[in-house]
């Protein structure tokens, strides 16, 4: 490597050292979080809304979305909490429902620290939702049925080591970039250069402002002659005016 290349590389390293240091540090922090974060498993159960006589598929889709929104109500989770042994207050944030705008299907997701518990929670909530919906089928004219039971997941859903590493490296890149910008701002943020005062011998534009005018002194003899001529002219003017009055 030539001397100029080494000089350029050293200058670049001095300017970008916050990024060089922050990106690996962020990746290490992300990996450390992936190692210490609690493992979470997710299992999915599916409930279908079926229209009865006098109802159509659009009605079933609408009720599927409605049941998905009220999945965390105590009336639905009461039987699920009794079946799993998990209190309702603890079970509520562990269960989620997702619906489709085109199909009368409800996806129920259970989250837990073990695969078996996650599947048990999802299936218990699905059974409770079916019982809750069938209790009012005479008014809604739709029935609910378990379409697919939740199975135990093979791998945890979180944490994801690759994702946590990428997020940590991205955060380090952001922080390092901000550090580079701050250092450049400090380096170029000195006081502005003082404007020198105008010189007394500066010349303006052609015949314009700023041009010094030098006045030459008048000799004393010439000044005396000029004064005498002026006085004589004044006397002759007075004499002519007096004759004109006569």
Note the pLDDT tens digit of each residue in 27-38: 888 778 777 778
Question: Is residue 67 in some structural domain?
Answer: yes
| Claim to verify: residue 49 and residue 130 sit in the same structural domain | yes
**Mean pLDDT of all residues in 131-144:** 91
Mean of all residue pLDDT scores within the chain: 79
| Claim to verify: residue 85 and residue 21 sit in the same structural domain | no
Q: Is the pTM of this model over 0.85?
A: no
| Claim to verify: residue 92 and residue 17 sit in the same structural domain | no
| Claim to verify: residue 45 and residue 112 sit in the same structural domain | yes
| Claim to verify: residue 88 and residue 119 sit in the same structural domain | yes
| Claim to verify: residue 116 and residue 129 sit in the same structural domain | yes
| Claim to verify: residue 50 and residue 31 sit in the same structural domain | no
Per-residue pLDDT of 138-174, as tens digits, reads 898 999 999 999 999 988 887 777 777 888 888 888 8
Range with lowest mean pLDDT among 77-91, 208-222, 231-245: 208-222
| Claim to verify: residue 48 and residue 138 sit in the same structural domain | yes
| List of residues 6+ apart from 36 with CB closer than 8 A | none
Domain count, the chain: 2
| Claim to verify: residue 23 and residue 109 sit in the same structural domain | no
Question: Is residue 31 in some structural domain?
Answer: yes
For position 131, which CATH number holds? 3.30.70.1130
Question: Is residue 15 in some structural domain?
Answer: yes
Question: Is residue 230 in some structural domain?
Answer: no
Question: Is residue 21 in some structural domain?
Answer: yes
Confidence at 46, pLDDT banded by 50, 70, 90: very high
Flag whether pLDDT at 63 surpasses 60: yes
Q: Which range of residues forms the domain containing residue 60?
A: 41-148
| Claim to verify: residue 100 and residue 53 sit in the same structural domain | yes
Question: Is residue 85 in some structural domain?
Answer: yes
**Mean pLDDT of all residues in 39-46:** 93
Question: Is residue 200 in some structural domain?
Answer: no
């Amino acid at each position: 490597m030539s001397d100029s290349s080494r000089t350029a590389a050293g200058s670049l390293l001095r300017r970008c050292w916050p990024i060089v240091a922050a990106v690996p540090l962020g990746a290490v922090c992300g990996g450390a979080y992936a190692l210490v974060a609690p493992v979470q498993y997710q299992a999915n159960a599916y409930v279908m809304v079926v229209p009865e006589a006098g109802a159509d598929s659009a009605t079933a889709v609408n009720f599927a979305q409605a049941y998905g929104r009220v999945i965390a109500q105590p009336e639905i989770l009461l039987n699920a909490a009794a079946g799993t042994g998990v209190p309702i207050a603890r079970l509520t944030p562990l269960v989620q429902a997702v619906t489709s705008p085109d199909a009368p299907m409800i996806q129920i997701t259970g989250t837990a620290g073990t695969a078996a518990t996650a599947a048990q929670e999802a299936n218990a909530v699905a059974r409770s939702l079916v019982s809750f919906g069938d209790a009012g089928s005479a008014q809604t004219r739709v029935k609910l049925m378990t379409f697919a039971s939740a199975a135990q997941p093979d791998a945890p859903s979180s944490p994801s080591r690759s994702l946590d590493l990428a997020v940590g490296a991205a955060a380090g890149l952001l922080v390092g970039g901000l550090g580079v910008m701050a250092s450049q701002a400090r380096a170029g943020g000195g006081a502005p250069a003082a404007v020198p005062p105008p010189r007394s011998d500066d010349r303006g534009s052609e015949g314009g402002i700023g041009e010094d005018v030098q006045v030459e002194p008048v000799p004393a003899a010439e000044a005396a002659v000029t004064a005498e001529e002026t006085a004589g002219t004044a006397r002759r003017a007075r004499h002519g005016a007096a004759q004109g009055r006569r």
